[in-house]
Amino acid sequence: MSDLLEIKNVTKIFPLGGIIRKKYVTAVENVSLKIPEDKQVIITLAGESGSGKTTIANMVMGFIKPTSGEILFRGKNIWKMSKKERKRYRKEVQAVFQDPFESLNPFYKIRYVLMGPIKKLKLANSQSEADKLAREALLDVNLDPDEVLDKYPHQLSGGQRQRVMLARVFLIKPKLLIADEPVSMIDVSLRADILKIIHNLEKEYKMSCLYITHDLSTAFSISNFIMILYLGSVTEEGDFETVVKDPKHPYVRMLINSIPLPNPRSRWKGRVKLQDIEIARLEKISGCKFHNRCPEAMPICSKEVPPLIDLNEHHKVACHLYTTT
Ligand code: SF4
């Protein structure tokens, strides 16, 4: 059986302009990831700003085309789909973004936002059935239909708007949800509720989720698997608990160790300075991209790119510490 989604050796290079010598930035480099068809998973794609995680989300959504590699949905390259296949893909893969306000038309009431997919996907045979579905979807995300249906987006809080977007997902019931920083603009006290709703989507509606975050502490309660990116490359990936309990890559160790224990739900504070990352993105770094700041760097690290190797069935790392032993 094909996987539901496969990101296969994907690289994305953006041109940066430049009149005499054109410059390029590699946002994503040789990233591969599989989401199975027969098992529901919540996969966390984590990294600092500039790590390439949102570029990956945009490629999965079909907003931008990979420079090389493929995004396959049930074995079919999404850029080679027929119109009919693409329409189905758009239904089966839905997204919620950081700022729900941007996804909602300010001139439409919430009722209209929810009626859109009900009508388009012919989910109801009558207006009263459509109303019932919209109400149920709002109740599923802990919103009072009487309170929100006739309001405009600007009359709702950020948390309520994100819930409306999730109610829309409940109606469409995609196979895969791309959740790109869905709680980063929401009040800390409401984040757990939104994450719980995403978790329920996985359990009740058998939906997988690609959860994209710069804040590792929000992934603890929901993830099965984690992939951590640094400057567009995978540093470490595997079973969530295995990686978090026993991180191997020096960068990942630094990030995870910076979450104060015993309360792993605290915010992830060990950030590499964004300015450093921006500079590093524009430079062509030979060997391991982390070698300039790695406390364990060896001579080989500035010369050769470390391959992603299997430590065991559930854990992979890209670091010469594990290739030279
Ligand atoms: Fe550090 Fe070398 Fe491993 Fe890179 S490959 S993380 S520089 S030890």
The three-state secondary structure class of 169 is: helix
Residue 72 pairs in a beta bridge with 6, 77
Q: What local confidence, expressed as pLDDT, does residue 325 receive?
A: 54
Using the mean position of ligand 1's atoms as its centre, give its distance from the Cα of residue 22 in Å: 30
Ligand 1 pocket (Cβ < 6 Å) reads: 249-250, 288, 290-291, 294, 296-298, 301, 306, 319-321
Pocket test for ligand 1, best of 285, 292, 301, 302 (most atoms within 8 A of CB): 301
Please tell me whether the peptide bond between 262 and the residue prior to it is cis, using omega within 30 degrees of 0.
yes
Pocket test for ligand 1, best of 248, 251, 293, 319 (most atoms within 8 A of CB): 319
pLDDT (tens digit per residue) in 112-164: 999 999 998 888 999 999 999 999 999 989 999 999 999 999 999 888 998 99
pLDDT tens for each residue of the chain, 325 residues long? 789 999 999 999 998 776 667 778 899 999 999 999 999 999 999 998 889 999 999 999 999 999 999 999 999 999 999 999 999 999 999 998 887 677 788 899 999 999 999 998 888 999 999 999 999 999 989 999 999 999 999 999 888 998 999 999 889 989 999 999 888 877 777 788 888 888 888 888 889 999 999 888 888 888 999 999 999 999 999 999 999 999 999 999 988 877 654 444 444 444 444 344 544 555 678 899 999 989 999 999 999 999 999 999 999 999 999 985 5
The three-state secondary structure class of 52 is: coil
Pairing of strands 233-239, 315-318: antiparallel
The three-state secondary structure class of 240 is: helix
Q: What local confidence, expressed as pLDDT, does residue 191 receive?
A: 83
> Which DSSP letter does residue 189 get?
H
Pairing of strands 23-35, 5-17: antiparallel
Pocket test for ligand 1, best of 248, 294, 303 (most atoms within 8 A of CB): 294
The three-state secondary structure class of 155 is: helix
Contact 100, 156 (CB under 8 A): no
Contact 213, 44 (CB under 8 A): yes
Using the mean position of ligand 1's atoms as its centre, give its distance from the Cα of residue 145 in Å: 53
CA distance 305 to 285: 10
CA distance 80 to 58: 17
Q: Please give the C-alpha separations between residue 136 and each of 54, 114, 286, in angstroms, as whole numbers.
A: 31, 11, 54
Name the residue with tokens 């690289």: 11
pLDDT (tens digit per residue) in 16-53: 776 667 778 899 999 999 999 999 999 999 998 889 99
Atom nearest to 235 CA in ligand 1? 6
Q: Tokens in use for 168?
A: 């829309």
Name the residue with tokens 């710069």: 214
